[in-house]
Amino acid sequence: MKIRLASSITMDSIVDGPGLRAVLWTQGCHHKCKNCHNPQTHDFHGGFEVAVEEVIEEINKLKLQRGITLSGGDPFEQPEALIEICKETKKLGLDIWAYTGYTFEELMDIKNPKYFKWAHLLEYIDVLVDGRFIEEKKDLLLKFRGSRNQRIIDVRKSLNAKKTMLHLEYMEEMNIAK
């Protein structure tokens, strides 16, 4: 199986989740957010294809990274390949964050034909930063996200509770009572 990426894996990122992280930049996004920071990642024919096994090999060689972050582009446009990658990543004890232009509720909508693949991918993700980037809600002081509508979601807790559960990091920043 192949995955389409926008660039090689970025190492040691400190802005795409907590700790040092390896970021996987997927290629392809439908959302067309105004003033997106990565417009070169939108084209579904852009970037380059690489075998999933090669990406897993690179992840196996990671050192000193707390986890990986799926970014893009929208990672949820390539769930099958990412399920394979995340499955192997979890075996290494790394945590997984993911960014998406979809809201968590859109991903969990059973009426959507992509629901089963999305739900399967979510099983491997610890934390999701969700929602489109909205220029009018942009805030440079926000941690790990670009605009105030985007949320940091604790996916494990949400799947267990069968409802959207915000991540502690987000609740503290937004002064939301636990």
CB closer to ligand SF4, 27 vs 158: 27
Beta strand pairing call for 2-5 and 95-99: unpaired
**47/101 with CB nearer ligand SF4:** 101
CB of 148 to ligand SF4, least distance (A): 14
CB atoms inside a 10 Å sphere around CB 84: 17
Q: Is the CB of 28 or the CB of 67 nearer to ligand SF4?
A: 28
- Residue 89 or 103: the one with the smaller Cβ distance to ligand SF4 is 103
Shortest spacing between CB 142 and ligand SF4, in angstroms: 14
Beta carbon nearer to ligand SF4, 17 or 72:
72
At 15, the amino acid letter reads: V
Pair 150, 130: CB distance under 8 Å: yes
Smallest gap from Cβ 45 to ligand SF4, in A, equals: 16
Q: Is the peptide bond before 73 cis (omega within 30 degrees of 0)?
A: yes
User: Could you tell me the two tokens for 107?
Assistant: 């991903």
Residue nearest ligand SF4 (C-beta atom):
101
* Nearest-approach distance from CB 76 to ligand SF4, in angstroms: 10
Q: Could you tell me the sign of the dihedral formed by the alpha carbons of 53, 27, 166, 18, in that order?
A: positive
Q: How far is the CB of 97 from ligand SF4 (least distance, A)?
A: 14
- Helices marked H in 23-129: 52-60, 79-91, 104-107, 115-122
d(CA 48, CA 135) in angstroms, rounded, equals 29
Chain residues that interact with ligand SF4, rule: CB under 6 A: 29, 31-33, 36, 38, 41, 72-74, 101, 132-133
